[in-house]
Structure 1
Amino acid sequence: MNVMCPVCNSFQALQAACRHCGGRMEDAGKLSDYYGDYSPYRPIDDAKRTNGLPDLAQHLCVHVAWCPSCRREQRVAVREVTDVELYALEQGG
């Protein structure tokens, strides 16, 4: 089954509230992009196999989000979608 992150592919904006102040979080990219100099160039599933998180098995894309109000960061898991689900998102459903 092919899945993709709707946030990484700009089909949807990251929607998360700060656990500290309740402010709107901003997307700072995939967590795996922060692993090292060449990590953004690694195959996505390869990075997921070695990060110690259940994201590969659960079809999640873990993003780093930061709050501009209180300047805190947190991880946000985004559910990856299939092409059928993506089509439904594009149709507004």
Structure 2
Amino acid sequence: MPLRSIKQTIPALETSDGAGVRIKRSLGQHQNIRLDPFLMLDEFGSDQPQDYIAGFPSHPHRGFETVTYMIEGHMLHEDHLGNRGNLKNGGVQWM
């Protein structure tokens, strides 16, 4: 397999989403730039529960799939239909 070089690095921008959840977004920050098939790529990471505990309002995951992985920590990821994953260290959820 030939080696490939990195063509572009996209820095993540700090932003908030949902009910004020603090995130870093690297893909999906600009509506006019799409990297098909990815809609967005976000990083959540905080030792301060107030940074993310408010969560997101009800929203359908209809028409796309989410992949969530937990490097370290714990998160309950649930959609408005009740589908849920209780992610812990090293866990992955495909919804």
Alignment TM-score, normalising by the size of structure 2:
0.22
Q: Which has the higher strand share?
A: 2
Q: Whose radius of gyration is greater, 1 or 2? A: 2
* Bigger fraction of residues in helix: 1
When normalised by structure 1's length, the TM-score is: 0.22
